Amino acid sequence: MSARNGSPQPQNTLAALDYQGQPVGVRPENLSLRDLAYRRLKEDIVLGRLAFAAVLSPRKLASEMGMSSLPVGEALRILEAEGLVESRDRVGTRVKVPTVEHIEGVYTLREALESQAARLCCVRASRQQRRLLNSMARQVDDMYARCARDDASDDLWHETTIFHANFHRFITECAGCPMLTAAIENSQVLIFKILFDSTLRRKKRPRDWHRSLVAAILEGDPAAADAAARGHIHYGIAEVLCCVRALQPGNRWRGRPRQGRRPASLV
């Protein structure tokens, strides 16, 4: 958490797109070509600009980025280690197609970490943090209400999913346990949350969904905060898993979906 004029400020989850913690969109003079390629590819994958199973040719990507294929190849290897990319010998590299087991694992980990964060936030959050949590919850709900419109733009969805992840990250910061915050960042559960939200684009959510979560967390009962966090995370899992299952029959390496287009089952 950073502070400005003495007030708490939530960190930007997109900063986690760069494994060295460099803010996305900034190009320091000492940032390597590998890091630039890594940042761009990870952002395109996480925000859904590159569809599941999209083929990633190092030579083509290098040409688009104006660099050699060496740093692009290094970036792809890092992304593969993080679970966002997969490759096969003599076949190629592509955006990883999630499995049901992987999705269930991500949600299980999120539930364990974020429910504990809610319990701690319940008793540790300062007055300033509580005000900011309420403000962010209202903004998240308002942004998703705008996204529910048929004319919602890609930019609005990207902005909303990122802000939504920042909101959940700030709950963890308010827990006052740096090791817990680090565990959430290192596990990349919020990065996968942005990925799922950007891809699925669920338009229907309960009214005041995030305001209700914050109200439950801040009413002073750790058990109630824990239950509210778990219920919040569980919501929509079945829909996500249904869409992932729909991907599996066509999950063949021969398929080469066009970059930037989502599978029809996830639109």
CATH of the domain at 18: 1.10.10.10
Whether 267 is covered by a domain: the verdict is no
Residues 71 and 25 in one domain: yes
- Mean pLDDT, range 31-43, rounded to an integer: 89
In the structure, what pLDDT confidence band is assigned to residue 247 with cuts at 50, 70 and 90? Answer: confident
Q: Which residue has the tokens 């005000």?
A: 131
3 is a domain residue: no
Is residue 32 predicted with pLDDT exceeding 70?
yes
pLDDT given at position 167: 94
Tokens linked to 30: 């000492």
Q: Is residue 126 part of a domain?
A: yes
Res 6: pLDDT: 45
Nearest-angstrom CA–CA distance, 211 and 138: 6
User: Is residue 82 domain-resident?
Assistant: yes
| Per-residue confidence (pLDDT) for residue 264, from 0 to 100 | 37
Alpha carbons within 13 angstroms on the beta-carbon side of residue 204 total 2
CA-to-CA distance for 15 and 25, rounded, in angstroms?
A: 9
Instruction: Output the pLDDT for position 130.
Output: 97
One domain, residues 28 and 109: no
pLDDT band, residue 200 (cuts 50/70/90)? confident
92 and 105 share a domain?
no
Residues 150, 191 share a domain:
yes
Domain presence at residue 19: yes
- Has residue 47 got a pLDDT over 70? yes
What is the pLDDT of the chain when averaged over all its residues?
84
Domain for residue 192, yes or no? yes
Give the pLDDT mean for 237-260: 69
Question: Is residue 89 located within the same domain as residue 113?
Answer: no
Tell whether 177 and 63 lie within a shared domain.
no
Average pLDDT for residues 220-234, to the nearest whole number? 96
What burial class does residue 31 get, using C-beta atoms within 10 Å of its C-beta: 0-12 exposed, 13-18 middle, 19+ buried? Answer: middle
Q: Residues 126, 238: one domain? A: yes
Q: Could you tell me the residue range of the domain that residue 44 belongs to? A: 13-97+251-261
Q: Is residue 2 part of a domain?
A: no
Q: Are residues 188 and 223 in the same domain?
A: yes
Indicate whether 109 and 214 sit together in one domain.
yes
- What are the tens digits of pLDDT across the range 143-152? 999 999 989 9
* 13-37 mean pLDDT: 58
56 & 169 share domain? no
pTM for this one?
0.80
Q: What pLDDT sits at residue 251?
A: 67
| Cα torsion angle, 163, 168, 170, 171, sign | positive
CATH of the domain at 147: 1.20.120.530
How many structural domains compose the chain? 2
Please report how the helices 189-200 and 33-46 are oriented relative to each other, as an axis angle in degrees rounded to 10.
50
End-to-end CA distance of the chain: 34
pLDDT in tens, 80-110: 998 999 999 888 999 998 888 988 999 999 9
* pLDDT(235) > 70: yes
Check whether residue 88 and residue 147 sit in a common domain: no
**What is the mean predicted confidence (pLDDT) over 21-41?**
70
Residue 114, in any domain of the structure: yes
Q: Are 72 and 115 found together in one domain?
A: no
When comparing pLDDT for 103 and 224, which is higher?
A: 224
